[in-house]
Structure 1
Amino acid sequence: MEQPEEEPAKSTQKPASKSRSGSKSGKKTSSAKQQSGKEEKTAQTAAPKSEKRRGRPRKKSVAEESQPVVPAPVQVSAPAQPAARKSGRRTRQKEDALASVRIIPLGGLGEIGKNMTVIETPQDIVIIDCGLAFPDDDMPGIDLVIPDFSYVVQNRDKVRGIFLTHGHEDHIGGLSYLLKELNIPVYAARLTIGLVEGKLKEAGNLKTAKLNIIKAGDTIRCGSISVEAIAVNHSIPDACAFAIFTPAGTLVHTGDFKIDYTPVDGQMIDLARFGELGRHGVLALMSDSTNAERPGMTPSERRVGEAFEMLFNKAGDRRIIVASFSSNVHRIQQIINVAVRHGRKIVVSGRSMENVTAKAMELGYLKAPKDAVLDVDHMKGIPDEKMVVITTGSQGEPMSALTRMARGEHRKLSVTSHDFIIISANPIPGNEKLVGKVINDLMKLGADVIYESSMGIHVSGHACREEIRTILGLTKPRFFIPVHGEYKHLAKNRDLAREMGIQDDRIMVAENGQVIELTAESMKSVTSVVSGAVMVDGSGIGDVGSIVLRDRRMLSEEGLIIAVATIDSKTGAILAGPDVVSRGFVYVRESEELLVGARQVCRQALAAAGNGQGGREWSNLKQAVRDQLGSYLFNKTKRRPIILPIIQEV
């Protein structure tokens, strides 16, 4: 999906954390000056003590070799203690049994997008993600939708920080709006922070943001809550799951994930850590549900590279144009690799594609030979057979580069019969018509368009049933909460948990705003908080509600009638009008009889209302015109336009 234009900004700060392998914390990654205070001290203290990690040892980095070992997080149930400590152990076990933690989803359940989850203990709150969603067809004029985070604003004194699973818009797109309300520490991996910096720069709050780079294995203590990042595979580098350690027990949030045994960047999902957490005891698992309907496993991203190799050979001497998600850095890397092998230069088109590519290359997540990647302003003179264009527009977005090419409106690129176009993405539900129109328009221009997923040109970044089954088997959670998906996805994930032997009373398919309270032995829904969709329209945030949307839909579907009249303030006599103006309702020249009748109805309504008990109150006059004119027009046309009476007194 398209991202706002950004200038790459260097992130020179390092995490305030300790990794479970023992690496000490570096400097705080913040573009703001250091601020003192209780909240910041609490959010950045060292990781909790725990048992040493079991299992096959992981090879340490050079930095880790020189650092002391920090034990892994505490178990859900306390380990056995010597007999002399029985009393203390019983007290601690009793406290653990009484401890509770709340999980409050504010977005991402029963929908695709605007993912946001609150984890709350009596003393502290941490947030997982703050994303956006794109508007539905019944939201005319709306640019994007973000979660209603009024609950965390109301509890600002408890909020210790926000943790981002990865850099996709549905997980970070609402962050700039949240930080305008709450300037809390942000913790995320390096590429995610790089993408966040660009969004905050455009929003104007980068300088004050408290951005902290973390890596897989790091644990951040936020008061009574500690959060550990765990490496997972997804369609963007640096994706993380989180283990959240609370007095009540350990929660695991998978984020968006898949299991890729041959990842493009060589970074494997840390299945061993999931298994270790399971052996220690996981109170609740929150798992990605996007592909819970699909059997088997999601294919490796490398399969797409093999398909590109075949298609580049098929293209021959034609120019190749590939449309993909701008954030799919692994996909872009594979396109670059194949293009270089075929002796082609890579041209990047589309603002978000240019921004993400520049940032990923700056941070080392994309690699290409010197001068192999160009922007559209420097492609002059490169022959078609030596060029590959990587562009936005895989979802048919109206202002994307590929859509503008299809309409013949791109300032630098014109599609011809000598173009071989690959759309390397499946349409997101709801975008099928947009994508279909772009494909039709490209084909009308003579281009050869490859878009079938059966060609192997796209694989999902989300886990299918066997991968979810693997995580369930490793973590062995006491309770299970499906997240990230429409209701049908959540329900299928619930069914999968049942198959794995988790009892119905230990599974909860929740809704946004539902407050789920967990103890060591129970899970229940206790109340609900304000949640929902906050619509962003231009610079307006939340000022468009259901009534405004209803009026916009009526305007778009039924049109507008304006009734204008001038009356004498003393006598109530009509001095001018009434005139009736139609916009989007009927064609005036062909509906003169209807409009003459409408004027007569307005005149009668004004006369009757002016002589009634209410006198000549403007509100009474306007309502009378609105009611009687509305009835007349519906009887004649069976349509209900918006009626706007304008009455002046002189």
Structure 2
Amino acid sequence: MNLPGPFRTISTDRAEVASGRLRYTDILMPSEKLQLIPLGGLGEFGMNCLALRYGDDIIVIDAGLMFPEEELLGVDIVVPDISYLIENRDKVRAILLTHGHEDHIGGLPWILSELNVPVYGTEFTLAYVEGKLDEHRLLDDADLIELQPGRRVTIGPFSVMPIRVTHSLVDCVALAVHTPVGIVLHTGDFKIDLSSPDGHPFDLQAFADLGKQGVLCLLQDSTNVDRPGFTPGEKAVIPRLDDIFAAAPRKLFFSCFSSSIHRMKIAMDLAHKHGRKVALIGRSIDNSAEIAQDLGYLEPPPGLLINPGQIRDYAPNQLCILISGTQGEPMSALSRAAVDNHKHAKIDPGDTVLLSSRIIPGNEKAIYRVIDHLERRDARVISDDGTNGLIHVSGHGSQEELRMMINLVRPKFFVPVHGDYRHLKRHIELAKATGVPEKVILLEDGEVLTLDKDHAEKTGKVTTGRVCIDNNSTADVVGDTVIRDRKHLGADGLFLPIIAINRATGEVEGMPEITTRGFAADDPELLRNARDIVVRTLESSNDVERRDYGVIKDKIRADLKRFLQKNANRRPMIMPIILEI
């Protein structure tokens, strides 16, 4: 059948359609082009969010957050600007999640408060999502749909096949998105672990099958592109951890990421082997363990787990305490225990504290502060120095795994994702060196990559950026002005001239007062001269100006700004306060 216009001509044998070899979208699909639009995660670690658009249909892969840098004063989380999705809200069909880490699901409450679309994820991922949405009172209206590895789901013109991958979290998938122009493979976060502790190894065969079908574009995790070789499997930590369990003379405090279900399972197995009871301390680690037990990823032997209140009932060498706070978070259980301020977790001289995690860049000071407190309590602290064996392994593939994936699926086009610009660039160089992709493309947030069966070109840019949120609330968005004011206050402090004005006459009542906060110049003469400046400004203003509080505040602010910059070389935030009499 020959179709007019932009439609392509294909066989329409009814038997083929009935057998399922052809779908409706194959029969009558305009020859549109596919667009890949990263909204976050390409140029920073975190905020992972990618839109795929074909015609009037958009699906979104991941909806992550990132934690703020130091200069974002008072900000709790940062999520991607989704202006593009909001502008095209009628076209957004679904959000698909690769796994349950915060940099992939943490932005969901923000996005779903603007776009109530179905969310697809694996069973464990959705369990994390449910808790997050319930906390933000969005769960009742959410449409959560389970993904199962090996089972396709169809969303508009997209047919999505989840593929099992291994990572530092359980139940993670890559997404092979079958589109009318070809297969786009998004790896999510992955490493190639063929002996995963949960019994679900990396599905090499599924990726090899994709390579035989032909992959149009591979989007691959760049996190560990700097690391040569292969990333060790999760079980690689067992020998060293076994030695530590055997040698610990007293209580053993075991701290890892609360999402590290593999590591928690290994810790529980070793505790059982060495005759130690296990107590879980910390809300995040307790919640994760509960979800993992409900879904069968943790199956501790009967009697292994005890309540924190039972710790005092056992000898110190019979205890293993799984405790949250591996990154030195100020209010975490480990941080409070380190300063002897936790109800159940008491660290005594001779206890062992094991930090089975990596240091996330930016957290160094907080972690070393906690370690200092632990050392003051004469605890033995073991962190990941790598000198005596592994106590932590990464969840991301290193260079050889990245090369293996490229050679396995043999994509026509290649785009690195998840990382700072330098990681993306080095990943481009690695992909070129394999000689496999016909074309490698370095994309950044907001750039639009347009693909058909034979071409891939950047064709424009959409609005992207960072949205800062206070108090972990979808309502408390912090703008650039607020951040600038916070920096201003932090650098030069606050200058508060207080003036009493008679509302009826516009006359100044009494002498103005000057109050400061965080203003470094503690000079009584400077403050007296500043008060004289305010008096002169008021005297030089007429009654109408003094009655217009907006005008008089601006005049006072301008005159004081000039005076303080000249006489104190400071630029505090000046906030005149008018008291009506």
Q: Taking structure 1 as the reference length, what is the TM-score of the superposition?
A: 0.82
Residue in structure 1 matched with residue 7 of structure 2 by the alignment:
none
Residue in structure 1 matched with residue 341 of structure 2 by the alignment:
409
Q: 2:20, 2:126 → 1: CA distance?
A: 25
Deviations 1:67-93 (A, max 9, x none): x9976999xxx9xxxxxxxxx9xxx9x
Structure 1 residue 568: Cα displacement: 4.9
Q: Secondary structure in 1 aligned to 2:152?
A: strand
Gaps of 5+ in 1: 1-48, 52-67, 79-87
**Paired residues of 2:506 and 2:546 also in contact (CA < 8 A):** no
**Paired residues of 1:535 and 1:541 also in contact (CA < 8 A):** no
Letter in 2 for 1:411: K
Q: 1:283, 1:111 → 2: CA distance?
A: 25
| Paired residues for 1:198-209 under 5 Å | 198-209=131-142
Residue in structure 1 matched with residue 38 of structure 2 by the alignment:
105
Residue in structure 1 matched with residue 458 of structure 2 by the alignment:
525
Matched, 1:377 2:306: no
**Paired residues of 2:492 and 2:520 also in contact (CA < 8 A):** no
Q: 1:149, 1:463 → 2: CA distance?
A: 29
**Paired residues of 1:406 and 1:442 also in contact (CA < 8 A):** yes
Residue in structure 1 matched with residue 325 of structure 2 by the alignment:
393
Matched, 1:491 2:425: yes
Residue in structure 2 matched with residue 557 of structure 1 by the alignment:
491
**Paired residues of 1:142 and 1:535 also in contact (CA < 8 A):** yes
Residue in structure 2 matched with residue 594 of structure 1 by the alignment:
526
Structure 1 residue 379: Cα displacement: 2.6
Q: 1:620, 1:137 → 2: CA distance?
A: 36
Q: 1:616, 1:502 → 2: CA distance?
A: 75
Q: Secondary structure in 2 aligned to 1:322?
A: strand
Q: 1:115, 1:333 → 2: CA distance?
A: 28
Q: In structure 2, which of residues 377, 394, 415 is the aligned counterpart of residue 481 of structure 1?
A: 415
Letter in 2 for 1:487: Y
Q: 1:72, 1:354 → 2: CA distance?
A: 48
Residue in structure 2 matched with residue 123 of structure 1 by the alignment:
56
Letter in 2 for 1:641: P
Structure 1 residue 557: Cα displacement: 2.4
Structure 1 residue 174: Cα displacement: 1.5
**Paired residues of 1:361 and 1:367 also in contact (CA < 8 A):** yes
Residue in structure 1 matched with residue 190 of structure 2 by the alignment:
257
Count how many residue pairs are aligned between Structure 1 and Structure 2: 563
Q: In structure 1, which of residues 471, 488, 492 is the aligned counterpart of residue 405 of structure 2?
A: 471
Residue in structure 2 matched with residue 618 of structure 1 by the alignment:
549
Identity of aligned residues (%): 40
Q: In structure 2, which of residues 278, 294, 306 is the aligned counterpart of residue 362 of structure 1?
A: 294
**Paired residues of 1:534 and 1:541 also in contact (CA < 8 A):** no
Q: 1:615, 1:452 → 2: CA distance?
A: 65
**Paired residues of 1:563 and 1:646 also in contact (CA < 8 A):** yes
Matched, 1:299 2:232: yes
| Paired residues for 1:275-354 under 5 Å | 275-315=208-248, 317-354=249-286
Q: 1:196, 1:406 → 2: CA distance?
A: 31
Q: 2:461, 2:549 → 1: CA distance?
A: 42
Matched, 1:440 2:367: no
Residue in structure 2 matched with residue 632 of structure 1 by the alignment:
563
Structure 1 residue 141: Cα displacement: 1.6
Q: 2:513, 2:316 → 1: CA distance?
A: 61
Letter in 2 for 1:336: M
Deviations 1:28-63 (A, max 9, x none): xxxxxxxxxxxxxxxxxxxxx9x9xxxxxxxxxxxx
Q: 1:610, 1:563 → 2: CA distance?
A: 19
Structure 1 residue 154: Cα displacement: 2.6
Deviations 1:144-195 (A, max 9, x none): 1222223223322222211111111111112123222222222111111111
Letter in 1 for 2:470: D
Structure 1 residue 527: Cα displacement: 2.1
**Paired residues of 1:425 and 1:453 also in contact (CA < 8 A):** no
**Paired residues of 1:395 and 1:434 also in contact (CA < 8 A):** yes
Q: 1:637, 1:447 → 2: CA distance?
A: 49
Q: Taking structure 2 as the reference length, what is the TM-score of the superposition?
A: 0.92
**Paired residues of 2:221 and 2:418 also in contact (CA < 8 A):** yes
**Paired residues of 1:561 and 1:580 also in contact (CA < 8 A):** yes
Residue in structure 1 matched with residue 82 of structure 2 by the alignment:
149
Q: Secondary structure in 2 aligned to 1:469?
A: helix
Structure 1 residue 634: Cα displacement: 2.3
Q: 2:37, 2:119 → 1: CA distance?
A: 19
Structure 1 residue 477: Cα displacement: 1.2
Residue in structure 1 matched with residue 478 of structure 2 by the alignment:
544
Deviations 1:439-468 (A, max 9, x none): 111111110000133041111000111101
Letter in 1 for 2:375: M
Q: 2:303, 2:113 → 1: CA distance?
A: 39
Letter in 2 for 1:180: S
Name the CA shift for 1:570/1:194 in 2 (closer, same or farther; >3 Å): closer
Letter in 1 for 2:61: I
Q: 2:89, 2:298 → 1: CA distance?
A: 38
Letter in 1 for 2:149: A
Q: Secondary structure in 1 aligned to 2:153?
A: strand
Q: 1:491, 1:377 → 2: CA distance?
A: 52
Matched, 1:513 2:456: no
Name the CA shift for 1:137/1:73 in 2 (closer, same or farther; >3 Å): farther
Q: 1:303, 1:289 → 2: CA distance?
A: 22
Structure 1 residue 261: Cα displacement: 2.4
Q: 2:299, 2:539 → 1: CA distance?
A: 77
Letter in 2 for 1:428: I
Matched, 1:161 2:94: yes
| Paired residues for 1:79-228 under 5 Å | 98-228=31-161
**Paired residues of 2:311 and 2:344 also in contact (CA < 8 A):** no
Q: Secondary structure in 1 aligned to 2:575?
A: strand
Q: 1:320, 1:552 → 2: CA distance?
A: 42
**Paired residues of 1:344 and 1:388 also in contact (CA < 8 A):** yes
Q: In structure 1, which of residues 446, 452, 468 is the aligned counterpart of residue 384 of structure 2?
A: 452
Structure 1 residue 419: Cα displacement: 0.9
Q: 1:122, 1:452 → 2: CA distance?
A: 49
**Paired residues of 1:605 and 1:624 also in contact (CA < 8 A):** yes
